[in-house]
């Protein structure tokens, strides 16, 4: 029977047998890749190098937090500043699948570059079951190309190892707790980051707005006395509407607040967040960025038919 303890023991054993040489792992700081990194580092020790790519589409303060967390777990970390590279690659791109694929390819390009420097032969990824199922591996249609699946080239020099492929988020969290990984209860954050929370072109200006809006949604929900939803964030719509800021006409973007309850991300219900909390979020967003955002709306769509993220 499955248990976190048994899974951990068997996986470490398998990794020891599979990996014959140096390996790199793309570590995002999220629970999936952190679990994969810790298992791998227990299997092959200093043969593993963790690569964190700062895409510029990370949440407020995230880079520093992740640096601390990953080195705190004893991982040998390379921190790659790649914001410019990503924003250049996404210039003019509006289609969600195209965005995801470009981001995925960029990640792989960077991993391959780093692997060469480190002389690594293996690429470890923290792919979990919904990532590949929804990327076309199990459903009739590709729902979205999850970056860690959609970006992989057909022919790659690195040998791919995905120790968590068959697991779902709730199981990963159990394993993370068993391994004493502090990010076990962190809310999920997609690999392509804030780029897929901006509908349309992810310009640097819009990225700053969504970063601030996501921080406000997280901050207000965490400060309130309500039970934390499974996932909660903001989405930027490139749709402008007329408003009034001070006594001046404003013409700004729309921010959507999204919060859901889920177990394994395959289905989700929108969270019944009290209006008082929603109002505080709305006030803070429009007070902080009133010249750029003058409307805040709440998404009341379940999955299906909506997905959790908007792209």
Peptide bond into 304 cis (omega under 30): yes
| CA pair distance 95, 128, nearest whole angstrom | 25
SS3 of 145-197: the string is CCHHHHCCCCCCCCEEECCCCCCCHHHHHHHHHHCCCHHHHCCCCCCCHHHHH
Rounded Cα gap, residues 275 and 273, in angstroms:
6
Binding site for ligand XMP (CB under 6 A): 131, 134, 144, 146-148, 188, 190-192, 231, 265, 303, 307-309
Q: What DSSP line would sit under 247-309, residue for residue?
A: TEEEEEEEEEEEEEEESSSSSEEE----HHHHHHHHHHHHHHHTTTEEEEEE----BTTS-SS
Identify the CA nearest to 266 among candidates 220, 302, 223. Answer: 302
Within its chain, how far is the Cα of 160 from the centroid?
A: 20
Nearest to 183 by CA among 268, 293, 62, 296: 62
For residue 4, the minimal CB distance to ligand XMP (Å) is 21
Q: Least distance to ligand XMP from the beta carbon of 148, Å?
A: 6
Report in angstroms the alpha-carbon separations of 76 from 26, 79, 158, 269: 12, 10, 19, 39
The H helix count followed by the E strand count for the chain is 10, 9
């Amino acid at each position: 029977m499955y248990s976190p303890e048994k899974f951990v023991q068997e996986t470490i054993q398998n990794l020891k047998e599979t990996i014959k040489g140096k390996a790199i792992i793309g570590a995002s700081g999220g629970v999936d890749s952190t679990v994969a990194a810790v298992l791998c580092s227990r299997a092959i020790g200093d043969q593993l190098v963790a690569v964190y790519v700062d895409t510029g589409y990370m949440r407020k303060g995230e880079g520093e937090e992740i640096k601390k967390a990953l080195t705190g777990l004893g991982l040998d970390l390379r921190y790659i500043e790649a914001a410019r590279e990503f924003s250049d690659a996404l210039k003019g791109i509006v289609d969600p699948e195209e965005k995801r694929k470009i981001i995925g390819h960029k990640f792989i390009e960077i991993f391959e570059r780093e692997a060469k420097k480190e002389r690594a032969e293996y690429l470890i990824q923290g792919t979990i079951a919904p990532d590949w199922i929804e990327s076309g591996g199990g459903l009739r249609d590709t729902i979205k190309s999850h970056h860690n699946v959609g970006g992989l080239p057909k022919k790659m020099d690195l040998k791919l190892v995905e120790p968590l492929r068959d697991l779902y988020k709730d199981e990963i969290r159990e394993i993370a707790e068993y391994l004493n990984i502090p990010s076990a209860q962190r809310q999920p954050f997609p690999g392509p980051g804030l780029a897929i929370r901006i509908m349309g072109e992810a310009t640097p200006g819009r990225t700053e707005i969504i970063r601030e809006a996501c921080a406000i949604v997280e901050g207000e929900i965490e400060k309130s006395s309500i039970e934390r939803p499974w996932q909660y964030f903001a989405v930027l719509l490139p749709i402008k509407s007329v408003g009034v800021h001070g006594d001046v006409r404003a013409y700004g973007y729309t921010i959507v607040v999204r919060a859901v309850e889920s177990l394994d991300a395959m289905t989700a219900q929108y969270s019944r967040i009290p209006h008082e909390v929603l109002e505080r979020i709305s006030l803070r967003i429009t007070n902080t960025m009133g010249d750029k955002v003058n409307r805040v709306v709440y998404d009341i769509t379940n999955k299906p038919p909506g997905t959790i993220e908007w792209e």
